[in-house]
Amino acid sequence: MDVDSPATIEILCYDGFDELDVIGPFEVFTTAADHGCSIDVRLVTLASAERITASHGLTIEPDGQIGDDPDLLVVPGGGWNTRGEASAWALAQNETAIDAVRRRHAAGTTIAAVCTGGMILAIAGLLDGRPATTHASTHGQLPDHGAVPVHARVVDDTDLLTAGGVTAGIDLSLWIVEQLCGADVADKVATTIEHERSDDVHVTGRE
């Protein structure tokens, strides 16, 4: 990511996403911006939509459709094990959605997945031979799709980052803020939201 200009962060929203997978990172990133971190955060959808309904019934009004080349795309999970029509699992069966994630990664966008959003990346083939984590309930499925499972709260493999279940998205986002704007800003954000940061971060590919 280019830290000389505002980093564009887009959080992908779809019907059935887990609320905290989106709201946790959104609050971390917007609070980081309040503390001087040069980032621009948007809630986006694949297709134009006035409202999106999350897994527990929360509705949101997205900021617009996914951009062509955001610096960072956050992919949340939600409802994977229910196999519902509105869920991360359903999104993973949508070739148009999977292709959209693949194309942005190929164009240079860093992809970060929260919870079973990691399974979406695995289905897309992005995690082939690469370390990753996901929600505990689906962790054992990662090897079925070519990923190398790591038992960590956050896995940073440079251009692909994954986090464990739900609240782990907060630690993932704080880690990203630290990479963009330094540990001091990340610690200030954690203090502001009264979150005790986890140091359970598995890092590969960074000097």
Catalytic-role residue among 13, 37, 115, 181: 115
- Give the SS3 label for residue 57: coil
φ, ψ of residue 201 in degrees (nearest 5): -120, 120
- 13 an active-site residue? no
CB 156 within 8 A of CB 204: yes
Residues 6+ apart with CB under 8 A from 184: none
The closest alpha carbon to 55, from 77, 26, 28, belongs to 77
| Region at 108 (left for phi over 0; alpha for psi -120 to 50; beta for the rest) | left
Q: In the numeric block, which tokens belong to residue 98?
A: 């999977």
Query: Active-site residue numbers?
Result: 115
